[in-house]
Every structure is written in C-alpha cells, then in structure tokens.
Structure 1
Amino acid sequence: MFNQQQNQNYEGSSQMPDKMSHGGHELFDAHEAIGGLVGGLEHSVMYEQYVKDPELKQIMTSQKSFLTQMYNTIVQTLKTGQEPAVKTQTYNMALNNNTIYGMQPKQPKSPAQSVNEINDECISGFLMGHLKSCSSHFTTTALETSNPVLRRVFADSIPNLIEMAFELYLYQNKHHYYQVPQLKPEDMQNYINSFAPVQGQLPH
C-alpha cells in the first residue's frame, strides 16, 4: 500500500509545471548559494565607508554592480525555471594578469581590535573571501541542480566569480598584501616535468 502511494506521488511530481521543476537538493543548495551572495553584497555595503584607495573603491563598485545583476538573474531563474530576461554576463576585470613574485619583509599581522584598524588590505581580503566562498557554493549547487536552466546559470556564473577573485588577488599582490613565493628554478622544473603526456593512439 505504501509503495503504491509512493509511486503515485512520484508520478504526480513529474506532471508539475516547468517553473516548479526543482529538486529538494537544488533548492537547499541554491538557498545557501544565494544567501552567500547576499552576504557578500551586504558586507560590501559595510566596507565601502572604510575604503581609502580609489582603485579598490572602483573595483568594489564594478564588482558590486555585476554581482547585483548576477543575483537578479539567479533569483528570476529560480522563481520561473525559465530563461532569465538578462542572461549570464561576462565579467572583464580592469587589471592586467601580471603577478609580482617574491617575498618582502612585513610586520607580523594580528587581528584588528577596532574599526580604525580596518584598512584596504583587510577589505580586499574580506571581499576575496566572499568570492571564494560563493564560487564553492555555486559549484556544489550546479552539481546538484536538476533544472537545466538554473544549473546553467549557476555553472556559467562560476568563471565570473573566479575572475573577480583573481582581480582582487592582483590588486593585493600589487600592493604586497598577497605575496607569492617561488621555488628554486631546479625545484620548479622538477615539478613541471613530473608528468608526461600519454603516448600512442588515444582511445575514442
């Protein structure tokens, strides 16, 4: 009796309208992913008053505008299950791709004890942390999403989150907030050459 009723429930669920074609897993994951995006946007509002560097302020303004549109696109797709009015855009960062390698001596860092100690280094790190978290949530959500349109919106948004995080990385690197050590040349070559391509005819 239970199995028969359960099967009827499953059959009925397949007849739901398209806009309701969401599985439970994707709704839980989408809720968490969207909530993380909301948190990042709300925190950026709090950080704005403490930013001193005009370059960082410009990055924040550009990213906040893009993330707000991303949020609207995701929410519309979640509600309708259909193609959104504004499809996923492509974020183009203003900075070049040049990383400064090497370490410079710095004073040891400790947690800020007052808002007066919150500076551009802190804020750029906070923003990058939000983007890293969002990219992880979006990836998990895309893997669990059964609605093909919502899955594609989340999946297509991930490269934009990565690009924005990389933009902040470059900003931090340029100001020596995020330093990048390198291995000795011989050690680097050993790592680079530690794998070889598969030889011969590859399987089809």
Structure 2
Amino acid sequence: MQNQQGQMHQNMHTGAVPPQMNHGGHEVFDVHEVLSGAISTMDQYMMVRQYVKDPELLDILDRQYQFMQDEYNITVECFTTGQDPSKRTQSYKMKQGNDFVYGLQPSQPKKPAQSPTELTDACISGIMLGSAKSGASMKTMAACEVTNPVVRRVLADSVPNCIEMAYELSIYQNQHHYYQVPQLAQQDMQQLLNAYAPAQGMPQANNMNMNTNMNMPH
C-alpha cells in the first residue's frame, strides 16, 4: 500500500498520471453532480410517464429518455476509465419544426397539482423542460472545471443536446398553448434590434501612456 501511494505521489510530480486518475478535485465533485442530476431527470421521466395522455408528448418523453440513458452511460464510462468511451457521442435530433406562435391568449391561472391524477400534459412537459434546462446549466459549469480531456469533450458535447431537448419541449408547449410567448411593441422591438453596431479593427495602444511610462524615473 505504501509503495502504491509512493508511486502515485511520484507520478503526480512527473505528470505520468494513470488514465483512471486523470481527474481534478473540482471535476470529480462536478461530474458527480451531473450524473446525479441525470439520474434524477430519468427518474422523473419514468414517474410521470404513466400520466401522459398525448401520444406526441409520450413519443418525445421516450426518445429523450433513451438518448439521456445512452449519454449517461457514455459519461460514466469515460469518467471511470479516463479514456475514450466505447460508443461515440451523438447529437439529439427533434422531430418538430421551429415555428413559434407569438402573442397571448386568455387562459386560466396556474396552480400546483394536489394529487398525481391532476398532472396534465402541460404540467408534465413543464417538468421535462425544467430538467433539460437544469442539465444544460449543470453540464456547462462542470465542463469548465474538467481537466480530463475526454470527459470535458463528452460534457461539452452534451450541452447542445440538453438545449435541443429544451427547445423541443418549449415548441411542444407553445403549439399546445401551454407556453405563450409575448412580444414587445413593434417600435420598441425595432429600437432594441438596432441598439448595437458591429465592431471593427483592433484596439490601439495608448502612445501617450507608453511615452509617459518610458520617461518615468526608475
């Protein structure tokens, strides 16, 4: 045991770290949080599945669950071994178009469900949407802390998939009037759209400051 610890201590100083130990402290904690969050999301999908009424939403739920499960397994594998996973990462593809319906229509105020039987497709798709958004944020933060190049790539590749899932769910909600999208008045919108201009050229050094610094006594 002492020899193993001594060898590992020597490896740490020479840079010859075994692949499965090629992880920083912050990375380990953050990846644990990502994997725990993935399990929580899949558990939520499993629990609400029985209450889904719309076949379209059920199809979205099953496709997203299967994709998340594969992505979870890939992340666990590369995190455990520190090496390339046996299966390549994939890109999630949604089926819907990307046209949003803008404007507000009268609707009943929302309130929490009092029992599982009150869970509607609007509520379930909202739960799924919240999980996808949370996953995107969590994986982005974790990827910035990762030292292992394989794990960093897998997490970074996963972020666009979370965004795509969230986008798919927001479009589903919008098309069913669960998620309404207001717009600004046309005049306000136009002013804000034109509030920024392109940047040009490179920043120039301040010659006055440079000359002043050169003439200062040492």
1:202 to partner: Cα distance: 4.0
In structure 2, the residue matched to 1:117 is 118
Deviations 1:18-73 (A, max 9, x none): 22100110000000011001100011110110000000000001111111100011
1:166 aligned residue: 167
In the alignment, the residues of structure 1 paired with residue 74 and residue 113 of structure 2 have an alpha-carbon distance, to the nearest angstrom, of 36
What residue in structure 1 maps to residue 3 of structure 2?
none
1:135 maps to what in 2?
Answer: 136
Question: Which amino acid is the alignment partner of residue 23 of structure 1?
Answer: G
**Residue 115 of structure 1: how far off its partner (Å):** 1.3
Report what 1:106 is aligned to: 107
1:196 and 2:206 matched? no
Change (3 A) 1:127 1:15: same
What corresponds to 2:82 in structure 1? 81
Q: What letter is aligned with 1:194? A: A
> How many residues get paired?
195
One-letter code of the match for 2:170? Y
Query: Is 2:140–2:156's contact at 8 Å kept on the other side of the alignment?
Result: yes
- What do you get for the CA RMSD once the two structures are aligned? 1.4
Counterpart in 1 of 2:176? 175
Report which of the two structures shows the higher radius of gyration computed on alpha carbons: 2
Q: What's the offset of the Cα at 1:168?
A: 0.2
Amino acid at match of 1:109: K
TM-score normalized by structure 1?
A: 0.92
Q: 1 CA distance for matches of 2:157 and 2:41?
A: 19
Q: Displacement of 1:11 after TM fit?
A: 5.0
- The superposition leaves residues 81-140 of structure 1 with CA deviations (integer Å, 9 ceiling, x where unpaired) of 111111110111000000000000001111111112111001000001111111111001
Counterpart residue type for residue 145 of structure 1: V
Matches for 1:30-41 after TM superposition, within 5 Å: 30-41=31-42
- Tell me whether 1:126 sits opposite 2:91 in the alignment: no
Q: Which runs of 5+ in 2 are unaligned?
A: 1-6, 204-218
4+ residue segments displaced more than 3 Å: 8-12
Query: Would you say the 8 A contact 2:8–2:17 is kept in 1?
Result: no
Letter of the 1:188 counterpart: M
Taking the aligned partners of 1:153 and 1:87, their CA distance within structure 2 comes to: 9
Paired with 1:59 and 1:9, the residues of 2 have a C-alpha distance of: 47
The separation in 2 between residues aligned to 1:169 and 1:113, in whole angstroms, is 24
| Offset of residue 10 of structure 1 | 6.3
Distance in 2 between the 1:16 and 1:197 partners? Answer: 46
Structure 1 unmatched runs, 5+: 1-7
Distance 2:18 2:46 in 1: 38
Q: TM-score, normalised by structure 2?
A: 0.86
Whole-angstrom distance in 1 between the partners of 2:51 and 2:58: 10
Match of 1:50 in 2: 51
Higher relative contact order (CA 8 A, sep 6+): 1
Q: Which amino acid is the alignment partner of residue 63 of structure 2? A: S
